[in-house]
Homo-oligomer: A and B are copies of this chain.
Amino acid sequence: MSEAVSLQTVVGVNVFAANCPSRSVLDHVTSKWGVLVIVALSGDTLRWGELRRSIGGISEKMLAQTLRVLEADGMVLRTVQATIPPRVDYQLTDRGRSLADRLIPLVEWVGDNAVEIVAGRPEAGAS
């Protein structure tokens, strides 16, 4: 059990504790849409509409909600230009970029292994 224990010891807070506030952070950074938003912004600054179009299947509601959470956690910076039509830019903060460095390998892993994993799943109604 050496490794798992050392993990809990090394980090400042214990993610394995039920009431640890880090749990909320973990939930945000591993949320369904949060991951994709962070990775999408890892390339460069995107406008609202660009973000919406680049993340297939996201609804406006979910995009807005996800961006608000990520902004509150200091991962994403929102810049409004009061022009007509309005222009709103989203970019990663330093913190967001350091998070993206951890998320990109994960997303790449999913991309590399997804086909195999899906193909290997037992069928739901197998006899």
Residues of A near any B CB (own CB < 8 A)? 1-5, 7, 10-27, 29-32, 35-36, 39-44, 54-57, 72-74, 95, 98-99, 102-115, 117-118, 120-122
Contact = CB atoms under 8 A, between A and B. Distances in A.
Contact of A117 (B18, B73, B121): B73
Given A25-B114, A115-B12, A7 B43 contact: yes
Contacts of A11: 107-108, 110-112
Please state the number of chain copies in the assembly.
Answer: 2
A110 B4 contact: no
A26 B35 contact: yes
A69 to B, nearest CB: 10
A108 B10 contact: yes
Contacts of A115: 12-13, 21-22
